Structure 1
Amino acid sequence: MKKRNRLNSLAVIFSAMLVALMAVALVSCDNELDVQQGYPFTVETMPVATRIIKGETVEIRCELKREGRFSDARYTIRYFQPDGKGTLRMDDGMVLLPNDRYPLDREVFRLYYTSECEDRQTIDIYFEDNSEPAQLFQLTFDFNNETEDEEAEEDDGKTGFHWGGDTLVAKPLLDIDTIAICE
């Protein structure tokens, strides 16, 4: 009889543990899949020149950094120019029009801004994804325009090279006329 009571008590304990385990498993499960379709992102750039002259082009190297991957994620780019006048184009040659949205089909790309005026210029570039709600990332670039005369005046002679338009111009580090040779 003792053996039978012992088996019955073990069966009751085992049954109670099994019922408790099933209850926990059924309560914690959810029938709906939790699929994340939007991940935060940023756009990183290399340093960009802030002083340009009319007609000069500045390169903006960009990289889209995503915190997660979703196969149907799509990104777009658009820009506004609140100050000044210029053109912005992609590295494939496509000229972007202000306020129009364009698909961004790669994560590493370059933008080229060409100054078309002698005033201060600002461009705001917006990147947006297709998640609900859409996430937006903004880059702002300010360019202080200068004339070619101002560029020559600001060059203080401490470096042997300076940028002249699109080319690197060498200038002498020493003025030959001011050097005295001792005999």
Structure 2
Amino acid sequence: MKTILNRIGAIRVTPACFFGFWAVLFALVFSLTSCSDDLDVQQSYPFTVEVMPYADKIANGETVELRFEIKPEGNYTNTMYTIRYFQYEGNGSLKMVDGPVLVNNDRVLLESKTFRLTYTAKSSDSHKFLVVIEDNFGSTPWEQTFEFNDN
């Protein structure tokens, strides 16, 4: 009779030991993994800018329209973009459509990811300027040189 009770007791203990082994193993693995309370929120995303095709010839007094669209790789709602330009050759003015005339090397806040600029030639020389678009997080700026020759 004693051997029968010993066997029944062993059977009752075995499932409990089995469960206990897995519980200890789980606790050990869980305690060895490192957790951080810091939430990793990405704010800065690389971006490109698409420019629609435009005429590369311009005469004194003529205007060329440039259309832009900023394409970020991710989306963060508080991202702001600015634009500035540097005139290397020629004499002309660059203006945001429905916005201000840009001043050489002054930053202007862009209200939208799609926008248009107009360049008006004020000389019959060739024209060359660099447009730079930056975000407020210091990502690599986008740059493109625009060149126009006299008709």
TM-score, normalised by the number of residues in structure 2: 0.87
1:86 aligns with 2:67: no
What does the per-residue CA deviation read over 1:152-173, in whole Å, with 9 as the maximum and x for residues that have no partner? xxxxxxxxxxxxxxxxxxxxxx
Q: Which residue, out of 49, 71, 78, partners 1:72? A: 78
Q: Map 1:5-44 to 2 at 5 A.
A: 5-26=10-31, 27-44=33-50
Q: Percent identity?
A: 43
Q: CA deviation at 1:60?
A: 0.5
Cα distance, 1:5–1:101 mapped onto 2, change above 3 Å = same
Distance in 2 separating the partners of 1:125 and 1:16: 66
- Residue 108 of structure 2 corresponds to which residue in structure 1? 102
Give SS of 2:149's match: strand
Q: Structure with the greater relative contact order (CA < 8 A, sep ≥ 6): 1 or 2?
A: 2
- Which consecutive residues of structure 1, in runs of 5 or more, have no partner in the other structure? 147-183
Distance in 1 separating the partners of 2:99 and 2:57: 23
Give the length in aligned residue pairs. 145
Q: Map 1:1-183 to 2 at 5 A.
A: 1-26=6-31, 27-131=33-137, 133-146=138-151
Distance in 1 separating the partners of 2:129 and 2:11: 83
Cα distance, 1:14–1:94 mapped onto 2, change above 3 Å = same
Where in structure 1 do 4 or more consecutive aligned residues deviate above 4 Å?
none
Cα distance, 1:22–1:72 mapped onto 2, change above 3 Å = farther
